[in-house]
Structure 1
Amino acid sequence: MKKIISLFILTFLIFSGSISAQKKGFYENVQKKNINKLLDDLNVLAANAEFEKYFECFAEESQYIGTDATEVWTKKEFKDWSKPYFDKKTTWNFKSLKRNIFFSKDGNYAWFDEILDTQMKICRGSGVVEKINGKWKIRQYVLSVTVPNDVVDEVTKIKAPIEDALIQKLK
Structure 2
Amino acid sequence: MNNLIFKFFLVLSIMLVAYSANAQTPDADAAFRQQVNAFLDEWHDDAAHANYRYFDKIAKEGVYIGTDKSERWVRDDFKAWAKPYFDKHKAWTFHAIKRNVAFSDDKSFIWFDEQLNTQMGICQASGVIRNTKDGLKIEHYQLSLTVPNPLVPQIQKEISDFDARQAHQ
TM-score computed with the length of structure 2 as normaliser: 0.80
CA distance in 1, matches of 2:153, 2:39: 36
> What amino acid maps onto 2:114 in structure 1?
E
CA distance in 1, matches of 2:100, 2:153: 29
> What amino acid maps onto 2:89 in structure 1?
K
Give the corresponding residue for 1:5: none
Q: Does 1:36 align with 2:37?
A: yes
| Mapping 1:13-162, distance limit 5 Å | 23-51=24-52, 53-133=53-133, 135-162=135-162
> What amino acid maps onto 2:105 in structure 1?
K
Tell me the percent identity: 40
In the comparison of the two structures, how many residue pairs are matched?
148
CA distance in 1, matches of 2:50, 2:32: 26
The question of whether the paired residues in 2 share the 8 Å contact of 1:47 and 1:93 is answered with yes
TM-score computed with the length of structure 1 as normaliser: 0.79
The question of whether the paired residues in 2 share the 8 Å contact of 1:34 and 1:136 is answered with no
- Determine helix, strand or coil for the equivalent of 2:147: coil
The question of whether the paired residues in 2 share the 8 Å contact of 1:129 and 1:138 is answered with yes
RMSD after superposition: 2.3
The question of whether the paired residues in 1 share the 8 Å contact of 2:49 and 2:90 is answered with no
Moved over 4 A (4+): 163-166
CA distance in 2, matches of 1:163, 1:104: 41
Unpaired runs of 5+ in structure 1? Answer: 1-18, 167-171
